[in-house]
Structure 1
């Protein structure tokens, strides 16, 4: 390590002492003066040998930020500070490297805010107004506002006619119109606010750093536009904003990273910091980055996914198709037939190993949508994904075409969807089993994190046995509570009853206990199979935890599908919370609790695309009996509940709702209490997002 540091220092000294200066790219005369001040400041505070090298700094004047990028690429400049949106372009399109990020008082992210004169606008009525932005393709003035407006369907985007800024403004005597430099008077957040003040625009999009300390007149005359249609004081930017995104970063050539890093270290650890030189005035320090760090982990997964959705890498096939995430071979077969039958945007079927892997792929922009059960909806919501549509079961569902188009027909905020209940099921012959003596028994669960087989179950088994001094990690508690079982996606003794993808010896080892239909004991049908055992009469459980909605049909399918014959609904009973048992038809009064509907989730920027796609699918394929392909049927693919639950009657439009609205307060509270002390790798993955809201 010491040799490496010495080598870097020697390289710097040899470059700079030989007449090659460290060249910073500047965008204004003011920055040029700041650069000279930096040189003087370094001379004053650094030891003479170091100072004599580092005072050899020159500032390379560029016309705009992309001119800076070109100069760095051509070895005519060495580094520049850019907005995160331009950092992404510099790295992905022009091959530069990001070496540091600016860190502000509240971290390395900025709030994107919309400002208007008091009493003139709200965020839902911006169509047709004049706008000013701190910079095209910039984080707070462009990318986040566009993502917000597109996600709310306030803005229609025709990809054949890309979005662009409004009427250009310019300095007439120089004709530097619309430049990303200080020659344009409405450039940057200061300029965007000036644009609003000058009456050129009705709304200004910029970052919160400009309004952290507003003047008294600014506070009196202007206000923030909040996402819910309300307004707020300029100082309330942390609660009234359009989203958060990464702040500025420092870029250089890939082969110049170490030298640039050393230069920035010299600036940072000298006494010149705080002089507002070359960086944003709000910058408190620089975070130096590791070399070869993937850009998604520099700028954040959500932000990079947003940029891809807005076409920052140019047009691509991904932007023109819907990529649906499938978690098994059977789902892939159904999805591929869906793709052949749909008359809309092309459908591409992407395979993953579990619902959690689908969430990870959607967040990373490797897939676009998936239907998730309620617990996974909670996880996905924590990871920044949003609802598109919810499944509706039973006779109370409105006609299919209305549910996706006319939200007032079934507004989930005021009318709950028909409920699904979690139930505990045992064989009628096993008279000794009841809900209070399940410890040490063989258990069958639909899958890890399932609402019925994992989350709600905690209240009545593991949770009921524990007090505050014991381990609240229910994943490990289940391992100790049950003797053995099958909980696809888990490990240890909760995989010992699982059988993989075959009924006899020779099943794929990789599919055993897999969190997908590749494990024959996965899902509601899988838990029932587990309870009765495989066709050879082995690998069975004493109790199954599943959902009531298709239980009678699944019992019938045990024989018709060739699994095991001879079972009817009379051979099973439900375990009630009071210790009694009931017939399988009495689920309304004998259950472990209600379960919110499964929901299609996606990234915010792709909501409208997925919503339109589902509307067209449902209209043409949803419930037409004469259609060769049935969106809500799975029997022909050899499994149940593929892509959607088979009991789904229709999909209900839900993009106007949050995941909390769909899940309800009670379910959210339970999920929070469990995940607060139960490790989940997917949540750890999502925490990597650098601008994740602290409220998530």
Structure 2
């Protein structure tokens, strides 16, 4: 029955193709591909039912000079489809107007590991400068985009974007073979061995075609094995089936400077990116999808005619990766309206834009800072007027999570995040640029001290999470907060949400504690203000009394447009609005600037006559303490805020921050002060004295293992929209798990 159903399916599909009355023209890049394509054409005619024998009117094999010749032939309707490296797929879509119809899916999904391979004991990743290199292809995922992104992030390659990236690469390596780089960079072709000719169709030197023996990942590996190069940049698929002798002779170069066996590509690689995909013209997508469906049903891994012809095998034609990659398990058709950023992944597309794949743009020289409120925007605009380095552009968002989305979408470059949102950023493949340093010793920190790794970071003065109540509310303690009115700086805040859970919703003794903290808090407190939350935890919030051109209501917004947002906002909430209404019984916030914030609420008229003596801290032993005793009476240590960005923009953002810090000394504009804008902790915490570089550290080190592990366990159970958003980047997300 199954076989009959498959025959009917193929019959219907091919009959629907018949109406086109055209050949299906596959673009080939070598004589061997031409042979395999011709065989596909022949067996299709042999196995299709007689009624459909003219459905495709044969597969026609169109020989092209290189991948860009293929793209052009498809564009001008001289060919119909081809499978390309993801880097070329992006160019085909963005620069030539083609469309993606399907992705090749391998054992690990659609993703490939970019690896650097060298002869055993000859090289490490820190000594690449001056070596000879072979790359699978110019602007290709594993041979160009990911390795160059990696070198730029580490500042090994310094590119000011005034000159082409290829020129910088030419100065970094001693000699190279980078097929497809073009005649403008002869030094990057000097190791290639394809035939040279003044006649284009006979010239295969440094081309992405079968005529250049060092083209593609297998070609780059061949270049290394022939002793022509010291290092080869390629995808892991080329070394998955390395022979025993190859495994003994060669090794992988790991990011930390160590080396690893060829089999360890999942742990020792320069990054992951999308594999190959199939492109066609926009108006040919339906036909192309039907064609791919038919040939996969017939000749794929489970094809009913695979004994006659194997779609994903090239050995019978004495080649490798002909038409499709031999490691392909199956095709995955792409949704009709899928954006290229979702087909290839947000991070990968942002990387390509950062490497100038669409040409240089003004955005390359700008730093776009993400602001989450009107007050932050005002401060940022003043920053932009005062800074004298990269131009600063202020981008509006509505929350820290929204900023992470904008940075991933390459619509913003940087933002300062609290520790929980920094954890989200790590899960979303953004990287830490700098951490805020609080306390007197940070003020005079010297450059060499700043760059000390863990030793300096662990010495930073801590910030404490505290629970604050009015002194006259004598009956309140840390263990009887159930059904009270609560004030939290915002949803997911380190002190007022994550650490707090250990003593409230996560500590219920009846064993029925809800591991979804978001809903557990709603059940725990009677009502409150947790900006960005929902339900009864928005009922105490008041929004902005006088909306300042905001988009709709700002009530319970996860930003300063909600007056009860942040540390100052939670304190406002505890005192209640100036009319004495809308208040909470307990406020969860951070100790820094607490005394100054109390003074500010008095002087600004929000809570006239209030003083620190009106308040007390709730301690974990059930007692209470003076507000100045946060060192002994607190809910735990809060890690520093972290500035994050995309990997390829780390150097630019850090350089900008260094210059901003230098220039803000002695100016009327102060980077780490916010009261002039009617709020606290705008863009950075007001307690910040200095920013410390952190690009050499991972999030677990910066946030501390206890906090990081707590976040891991909580978000295995508690949903967060930003984590769902980031799951779209399947390559990145699968690395985390």
TM-score range, shorter chain: over 0.9
Q: Which one is further off, 479-488 or 38-47?
A: 38-47
Indicate the residue corresponding to 2:489 in structure 1.
Answer: 446
Closer/same/farther in 2, CA of residues 167 and 5 from structure 1, 3 Å limit: closer
Distance between the aligned counterparts of 1:244 and 1:412, measured in 2?
31
Indicate the residue corresponding to 2:216 in structure 1.
Answer: 188
SS of the residue aligned with 1:456? helix
How far off its partner does 1:527 sit?
A: 0.1
Distance between the aligned counterparts of 2:417 and 2:56, measured in 1?
56
Distance between the aligned counterparts of 2:416 and 2:510, measured in 1?
35
Indicate the residue corresponding to 1:597 in structure 2.
Answer: 640
Indicate the residue corresponding to 2:711 in structure 1.
Answer: 671
Indicate the residue corresponding to 2:194 in structure 1.
Answer: 171
Closer/same/farther in 2, CA of residues 406 and 47 from structure 1, 3 Å limit: farther
Distance between the aligned counterparts of 1:12 and 1:507, measured in 2?
53
SS of the residue aligned with 1:590? coil
Indicate the residue corresponding to 1:102 in structure 2.
Answer: 104
Indicate the residue corresponding to 1:199 in structure 2.
Answer: 227
How far off its partner does 1:317 sit?
A: 1.8
Is the counterpart of residue 347 in structure 1 residue 392 in structure 2?
yes
How far off its partner does 1:248 sit?
A: 0.3
Question: Does structure 2 conserve the Cα–Cα contact (< 8 Å) formed by 1:8 and 1:258?
Answer: no
Deviations 1:123-182 (A, max 9, x none): 112111111100000001110111111111121113122222524324345442211111
How far off its partner does 1:415 sit?
A: 3.2
Distance between the aligned counterparts of 2:477 and 2:607, measured in 1?
25
Is the counterpart of residue 298 in structure 1 residue 343 in structure 2?
yes
SS of the residue aligned with 2:147? helix
Is the counterpart of residue 654 in structure 1 residue 694 in structure 2?
yes
Taking structure 1 as the reference length, the TM-score comes to 0.95
Indicate the residue corresponding to 1:215 in structure 2.
Answer: 243
Question: Does structure 1 conserve the Cα–Cα contact (< 8 Å) formed by 2:14 and 2:55?
Answer: no
Closer/same/farther in 2, CA of residues 68 and 505 from structure 1, 3 Å limit: closer
Is the counterpart of residue 13 in structure 1 residue 36 in structure 2?
no
How far off its partner does 1:559 sit?
A: 1.2
Question: Does structure 2 conserve the Cα–Cα contact (< 8 Å) formed by 1:326 and 1:643?
Answer: yes
How far off its partner does 1:335 sit?
A: 0.3
Is the counterpart of residue 532 in structure 1 residue 575 in structure 2?
yes
Deviations 1:442-481 (A, max 9, x none): 0000000100111001000111115554421111010010
How far off its partner does 1:256 sit?
A: 0.2
Is the counterpart of residue 424 in structure 1 residue 467 in structure 2?
yes
Is the counterpart of residue 637 in structure 1 residue 677 in structure 2?
yes
Closer/same/farther in 2, CA of residues 652 and 505 from structure 1, 3 Å limit: closer
SS of the residue aligned with 1:240? coil
How far off its partner does 1:52 sit?
A: 3.5
Instruction: Spell out the pairing of 1:488-503 with structure 2 (5 A cutoff).
Output: 488-502=531-545
Q: Which one is further off, 155-164 or 499-508?
A: 499-508
Question: Does structure 2 conserve the Cα–Cα contact (< 8 Å) formed by 1:502 and 1:508?
Answer: no
Distance between the aligned counterparts of 2:547 and 2:574, measured in 1?
17
SS of the residue aligned with 1:539? coil
Q: Which one is further off, 77-86 or 653-662?
A: 653-662
Q: Which one is further off, 324-333 or 44-53?
A: 44-53
Distance between the aligned counterparts of 2:682 and 2:495, measured in 1?
18
Is the counterpart of residue 333 in structure 1 residue 361 in structure 2?
no
Closer/same/farther in 2, CA of residues 470 and 461 from structure 1, 3 Å limit: closer
How far off its partner does 1:50 sit?
A: 2.7
Closer/same/farther in 2, CA of residues 244 and 326 from structure 1, 3 Å limit: same
Q: Which one is further off, 538-547 or 165-174?
A: 165-174
SS of the residue aligned with 1:371? strand
Question: Does structure 2 conserve the Cα–Cα contact (< 8 Å) formed by 1:501 and 1:508?
Answer: no
1:118 corresponds, among 117, 120, 133, to 120
How far off its partner does 1:265 sit?
A: 0.4
Question: Does structure 2 conserve the Cα–Cα contact (< 8 Å) formed by 1:500 and 1:507?
Answer: no
1:35 corresponds, among 37, 47, 65, to 37
Indicate the residue corresponding to 2:667 in structure 1.
Answer: 627
Question: Does structure 2 conserve the Cα–Cα contact (< 8 Å) formed by 1:412 and 1:661?
Answer: no
How far off its partner does 1:553 sit?
A: 0.7
Indicate the residue corresponding to 1:279 in structure 2.
Answer: 324
Distance between the aligned counterparts of 2:546 and 2:472, measured in 1?
24
Closer/same/farther in 2, CA of residues 492 and 198 from structure 1, 3 Å limit: same
Q: Which one is further off, 655-664 or 72-81?
A: 655-664
Distance between the aligned counterparts of 1:142 and 1:99, measured in 2?
24
Q: Where do 5+ consecutive residues of structure 1 fail to align?
A: none
Distance between the aligned counterparts of 1:393 and 1:674, measured in 2?
27
Distance between the aligned counterparts of 2:64 and 2:456, measured in 1?
53
SS of the residue aligned with 1:308? helix
Closer/same/farther in 2, CA of residues 69 and 453 from structure 1, 3 Å limit: same
Instruction: Spell out the pairing of 1:372-383 with structure 2 (5 A cutoff).
Output: 372-383=417-428
How far off its partner does 1:107 sit?
A: 0.8
Indicate the residue corresponding to 1:476 in structure 2.
Answer: 519
How far off its partner does 1:416 sit?
A: 3.5
SS of the residue aligned with 2:353? helix
Question: Does structure 2 conserve the Cα–Cα contact (< 8 Å) formed by 1:503 and 1:535?
Answer: no
Taking structure 2 as the reference length, the TM-score comes to 0.90
Indicate the residue corresponding to 2:138 in structure 1.
Answer: 136
Question: Does structure 1 conserve the Cα–Cα contact (< 8 Å) formed by 2:106 and 2:330?
Answer: yes
SS of the residue aligned with 1:396? helix
How far off its partner does 1:661 sit?
A: 1.1
Question: Does structure 1 conserve the Cα–Cα contact (< 8 Å) formed by 2:564 and 2:573?
Answer: yes
Indicate the residue corresponding to 2:596 in structure 1.
Answer: 553
Distance between the aligned counterparts of 1:354 and 1:642, measured in 2?
13
Q: Which one is further off, 294-303 or 498-507?
A: 498-507
How far off its partner does 1:562 sit?
A: 2.4
> Once superposed, what is the RMSD of the aligned Cα atoms?
2.0
Indicate the residue corresponding to 1:365 in structure 2.
Answer: 410
Question: Does structure 1 conserve the Cα–Cα contact (< 8 Å) formed by 2:672 and 2:688?
Answer: yes
Question: Does structure 2 conserve the Cα–Cα contact (< 8 Å) formed by 1:102 and 1:286?
Answer: yes
Question: Does structure 2 conserve the Cα–Cα contact (< 8 Å) formed by 1:444 and 1:530?
Answer: yes
SS of the residue aligned with 1:649? strand
Question: Does structure 1 conserve the Cα–Cα contact (< 8 Å) formed by 2:252 and 2:260?
Answer: yes
1:231 corresponds, among 256, 259, 262, to 259
Question: Does structure 2 conserve the Cα–Cα contact (< 8 Å) formed by 1:134 and 1:188?
Answer: yes
SS of the residue aligned with 1:281? coil
Indicate the residue corresponding to 1:46 in structure 2.
Answer: 48
Distance between the aligned counterparts of 2:276 and 2:52, measured in 1?
28
Indicate the residue corresponding to 2:24 in structure 1.
Answer: 22
Deviations 1:594-625 (A, max 9, x none): 0100010011111011011111111111xx2x
Indicate the residue corresponding to 2:89 in structure 1.
Answer: 87
Deviations 1:208-257 (A, max 9, x none): 00100111221111100001110000111111101110000000000000
Question: Does structure 2 conserve the Cα–Cα contact (< 8 Å) formed by 1:133 and 1:206?
Answer: yes
Distance between the aligned counterparts of 2:161 and 2:492, measured in 1?
39
Is the counterpart of residue 251 in structure 1 residue 294 in structure 2?
no
SS of the residue aligned with 2:126? coil
1:584 corresponds, among 609, 617, 627, to 627
Distance between the aligned counterparts of 2:404 and 2:633, measured in 1?
33
Distance between the aligned counterparts of 1:467 and 1:62, measured in 2?
71
SS of the residue aligned with 2:210? coil
Deviations 1:647-694 (A, max 9, x none): 101101111111111011100111111111111110000011121243
How far off its partner does 1:695 sit?
A: 4.4
